Homo-oligomer: A and B are copies of this chain.
Amino acid sequence: MATLLVAGGAGFIGSHFIDRLIARGDQVICVDDLSTGTREHTEMHADQPRYRFVEADVCDGGIEAAVRGSGSMRFDAVVHLASPASPPAYLARPIETLEVGSRGTHNLLEIARLDSARFLLASTSEVYGDPLVHPQVETYTGNVNPIGERSVYDEAKRFAEAITMAYARTYGLDVRIARIFNTYGPRMRADDGRVVTNFVYQALAGDPLTIFGDGSQTRSFCYVDDEVAGLLALLGGDEPGPVNIGNPHEVTIRAFAELVIELTNSRSTIEFCELPADDPHLRQPDITLAREALGWEPLVTLRDGLQRTIAAYRTSSLG
């Protein structure tokens, strides 16, 4: 049994990740400021004896004392999943997003350093920006506009990778970096603003599905159970990364919209809107490294994962 600090554990991926840790008997301290995380995602673990929730911002100077608590708890691993992650969420919180990637990462790295703990950074496919190399391999340096609107997220995550590697080089910290690609599943916020939630809720309501651009842009969606299994394989293995953790099955947004309409038996139509600035046209992980170094690959098809997601959304506002 290990003791883990999970920052952002009340978020979509964080809450599924903690499910798995608890199921295998780990002790989990979850820290989240609930700015985009959801109180229900921490309350559902509240009866677990090996779970403690700390409502705090990882950017705060007092974060170390807050997460250690009165028992001065020490951690075997620090997992940094904290950040607004959908474009509407981070564009609404530009300075906070830059802060959690920089100061928040720094604060969490310090805790890991003091405890000689393993540190896992959740980075993102957004470090590749609007990629000119396809599919994206980890050595690709990306096409991010540092002064674009989305740079508040992209550059924050690139900075987070840089400071994580600086801690590895300077202090010998044992680090892991995951580059998470689009992930979907139950418990995404209805107001998340990402395409999966938008489409599913629009289809369930019978509203038109809104496509930004002409729908020819592609995405590769990873079911959350697969994503979490990849993160756990990275955390438990020897490969420091960065490792792409995502599903390489690529689909156009238009085909995806049509699949959602089919699986929901919806009467919804499709509407086309203007594409936002710096929206990536193509996004598909090369997961050769994850397959070879972690023995991991996604197992859930888009059709299966979407059916599970739709079923969850039908029965609960949070899925």
Contact = CB atoms under 8 A, between A and B. Distances in A.
Given A98-B162, A156-B162, A159-B159, A143 B141 contact: yes
A68 interface: no
Tell me what chain A mostly uses at the interface: helix, strand, loop, or mixed: helix
Contacts of A94: 166, 169-170
For the side of the interface on A, what is the size category? 35 or more
B147 A155 contact: no
A94 to B, nearest CB: 4
B146 A142 contact: yes
A177 interface: yes
Nearest to A147: B165
Contacts of A11: none
Given A102-B103, A103-B102, A162 B169 contact: no
Interface of A: 61, 94-95, 98-99, 102-103, 106, 127, 129, 141-147, 149, 151-152, 154-156, 158-159, 161-163, 165-167, 169-170, 177, 242
5 interchain residue pairs of minimum CB distance: A155-B162, A102-B102, A151-B162, A94-B166, A159-B159
